[in-house]
């Protein structure tokens, strides 16, 4: 959970230099010449791309490449520009290695090795594992609340926040799904879907933090608290999708929501007498330490494992601990209600 919130805050710090300064890789004249020659000839050295064959008027020869193969094979394929950039990047990195120079970023990204057409394999794998961990946590929570803990006469759970956590689980699964898709293929659509899902999850998690920490159980009060935040999130998502994807503004929104949410959870963990608040502290502290990976960015080891991918890996056990806390909270609140009934 907190991994997505921490990411919003650290993204502002870690990527600000990327936003302000051009990446050294794509500013390299040799790299630019390679791109130009590739788009003119359809080749990078001995490797040629059929979908980069142009006519004299600059149009692609024949039908578009994505219409020439079955749909199940299309996900492996890239456009002419992407293939030219990728293979020119590999050539330049080989030259840099021979000169004992370290990797540099191209178009704001480290040079990753593709595996089966996947742009950032490690980040994709860890995003999928985070998704699986959230699914496991939600299923175990569902079984606990509706099959192991006592229920009311109308077969409803005593735990009054159960429905809210179900929604949270769905939004988390959605967010990690689009994270995996975005790291698989970084295009305008997948970028917007990933950013939008993160904003929605952040906004809802802030609502959930407020409702749980202040123990808001009345439905009318919940609506009054949630409505302004929901309206703002919807407006922001529409803005970045249909008007302008302003990276700076989007980061500011995410940072404000994330800091507010983290502050609420941290204060609540400190003042409450919850028997499992140590798990919440563990997630907050470990997530804070993991943030250093986003600040002290480093190139991918063997073209696969960069700081961001390792950070995704660390959030996997933190997700397990977080859902363990949620289950403990359900047990704690249910026992409290049953004690009052007696």
pLDDT value at residue 182 = 92
pLDDT value at residue 78 = 67
Separation of alpha carbons 179 and 195, rounded Å: 9
Q: List the chain domain ranges.
A: 2-19+117-341, 24-98
Contacting residues for 54 by C-beta, under 8 A, at least 6 apart: 39, 40, 42, 60, 61
- Backbone torsions φ then ψ of 72, nearest 5 degrees: -70, -15
pLDDT value at residue 240 = 93
The closest of 199, 185, 192 to 241, measured between CA atoms, is: 192
What is the pTM for the complete model shown? 0.83
pLDDT value at residue 198 = 92
Separation of alpha carbons 317 and 295, rounded Å: 21
How many CB atoms lie under 10 A from the CB of residue 226? Answer: 19
pLDDT value at residue 26 = 73
Positions of the chain with pLDDT under 50: 5, 7-21, 55-69, 71-73
Residues paired with residue 305 on neighbouring β-strands, in sequence order: 301
pLDDT value at residue 295 = 64
Domain 2-19+117-341 has CATH 1.20.1070: yes
pLDDT value at residue 55 = 47
How many CB atoms lie under 10 A from the CB of residue 8? Answer: 23
């Amino acid at each position: 959970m907190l991994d997505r919130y921490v990411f919003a805050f650290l993204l502002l710090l870690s990527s600000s230099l990327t936003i302000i300064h051009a990446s050294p890789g794509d500013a390299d004249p040799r790299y630019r010449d390679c791109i130009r020659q590739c788009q003119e000839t359809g080749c990078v050295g001995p490797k040629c791309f059929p979908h980069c064959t142009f006519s004299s008027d600059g149009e692609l020869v024949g039908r578009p490449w994505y219409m020439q193969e079955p749909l199940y094979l299309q996900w492996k394929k890239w456009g002419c520009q992407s293939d030219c950039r990728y293979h020119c990047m590999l050539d330049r990195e080989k030259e840099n290695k021979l000169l004992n120079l370290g990797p540099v970023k191209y178009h704001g990204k480290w040079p990753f090795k593709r595996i089966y057409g996947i742009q950032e394999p490690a980040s994709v794998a860890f995003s999928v594992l985070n998704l699986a961990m959230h699914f496991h946590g939600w299923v175990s929570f569902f079984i606990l609340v509706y099959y192991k803990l006592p229920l009311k006469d109308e077969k409803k759970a005593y735990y009054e926040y159960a429905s809210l956590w179900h929604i949270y689980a769905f939004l988390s699964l959605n967010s990690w799904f689009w994270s995996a898709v975005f790291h698989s293929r970084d295009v305008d659509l997948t970028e917007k879907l990933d950013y939008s899902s993160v904003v929605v999850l952040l906004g809802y998690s802030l609502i959930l933090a407020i409702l749980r920490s202040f123990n808001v159980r009345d439905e009318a009060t919940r609506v009054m608290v949630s409505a302004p935040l929901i309206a703002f999130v919807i407006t922001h998502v529409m803005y970045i999708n249909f008007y302008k994807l302003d990276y700076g503004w989007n980061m500011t929104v995410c940072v404000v929501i994330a800091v507010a949410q983290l502050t609420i959870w941290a204060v609540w963990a400190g003042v409450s007498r919850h028997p499992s608040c140590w798990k919440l502290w563990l997630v907050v502290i470990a997530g804070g330490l993991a943030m250093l990976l986003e600040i002290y960015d480093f190139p991918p080891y063997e073209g696969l494992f960069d700081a961001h991918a390792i950070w995704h890996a660390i959030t996997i056990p933190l997700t397990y601990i977080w859902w363990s806390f949620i289950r403990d909270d359900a047990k704690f609140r249910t026992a409290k209600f049953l004690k009052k009934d007696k």
